[in-house]
Amino acid sequence: MNRFEGPSVAEAKIKYLDGDFQVITAGTFVTCAVTGKAIPLDDLKYWSVDKQEAYIDVEASVKASRT
């Protein structure tokens, strides 16, 4: 079983801030706005404050900024 399986797995609701984020609703991951892939909260490094969305990596972040 991986960390995205099981009954305790849920998508977190996040408020993205400058240089930090605030967990509004507890969960184990968020979804990348570009790829649709799950991002474990421990690995969350890229997001947009203006769009309030998360990105799995820098490439996804750059792609989102161009749209």
Cβ(38)–Cβ(4) under 8 Å? yes
Q: Indicate whether 58 belongs to any domain.
A: yes
Q: Indicate left, alpha or beta for 6 from its phi (over 0: left) and psi (-120 to 50: alpha).
A: left
Q: Indicate whether 35 belongs to any domain.
A: yes
pLDDT per residue as tens digits for the range 25-41: 999 999 999 999 999 99
Q: Indicate whether 57 belongs to any domain.
A: yes
| Domain of 44, in residue numbers | 13-65
Q: How many domains does the chain have?
A: 1
The confidence score (pLDDT) of residue 9 equals 85
Q: Indicate whether 6 belongs to any domain.
A: no
Q: Indicate whether 3 belongs to any domain.
A: no
Q: Indicate whether 1 belongs to any domain.
A: no
Residues of the chain with pLDDT below 50 are 1
